Structure 1
Amino acid sequence: MMAENENNLDIARFEVNQSGRILSGNKRFCRMFGFSESEVVWHYITDCYRYHGDWEMFSSCENLSQTKFIFRMRNRKGRSFKCCLSREIVQDADGKITFRNTVSRLGEPVLAKEQAPAEETRSVVFLSKCAHCGEHVRVNTLTETRMRVLCDNCAAKAYPEAFNLAAAQV
């Protein structure tokens, strides 16, 4: 069964055997196709294909290198949508074939593991107002904006012994 990211809500995953019986499906898959998690194992994936010939093309294992397919799928209400299925073929010791699949509607964002890591170039600056003079003061975190903050000039006037430690130690 699916162990990693089994109930990740961003990626719809399901397993199906060679005859089309759904073995498992995560929450995202159930929501996408209108199943409840408890009833998903009682259904066949062939009911989710808009065109019956698509299952035949998907389940034929002649071209093992083909891992991505574009199909028209439908949910239990009969609404159809275009999907991209990515399959992984797993064969156990007895020779039984299981398809581990991820499915995403076309137009949805690309799966997180397939995205190139984007470099973050933006920097965030948090500003607060000085409690004495009202001048803008740069702070390190958003929570510091709610604190009573003094600018350097007001802090030097109000607390000279703490602000000028080098002069106070002499």
Structure 2
Amino acid sequence: MDIAPATAQAGLTFRDATEDDVPALVRLVESAYRGDASRTGWTTEADLLHGRRTDAEGVRALLAGPAGKVLVAERDGEPVACCQLADRGSAAYFGMFAVRPELQGAGLGKVIIAEAERTAREGWGASEMHMTVISVREELIAWYERRGYRRTGELTPFPYGDERFGVPQRADLAFELLVKEL
């Protein structure tokens, strides 16, 4: 059942991630995308990729980057969602979006992405939001399209052989650029 964003936002606070958040963020991202725990939600990549989605080193690199941040959504002091934002001039990049699997499908993702877009627009003056999604993730891409993102058809090859991105379970993976005007 989809609930209104105002209800999904009840008790939700946003803040920039810090070094102290790294272990919790790694657990959150891994639980949303990989392994059996991810199958509780609908964003799992467990059938497409095995191995890790991120690690502490990768999250620390995002935190240390000069033109970006990781936004954390908390409820009762516990991280329930996160996303990466990067300032790329007139566009912002949105990535590493994760919502706890047991909370997916309740409208929380809509609230998080709206806050990320507001942050990019008001904080950096971005006129577009960019993201990349694995092109075979039709249900996920459709969800983004309902939020106003459009497929560009611009594909980037999946980094086969680089286990930092997971171990592919099929040979047809690529990233597609999605864009939304802010």
TM-score range, shorter chain: under 0.3
> Which protein shows a greater Rg?
1
TM-score of the aligned structures, taking structure 1 as reference length: 0.25
Q: Looking at secondary structure, tell me which structure has more strand per residue.
A: 2
TM-score of the aligned structures, taking structure 2 as reference length: 0.24
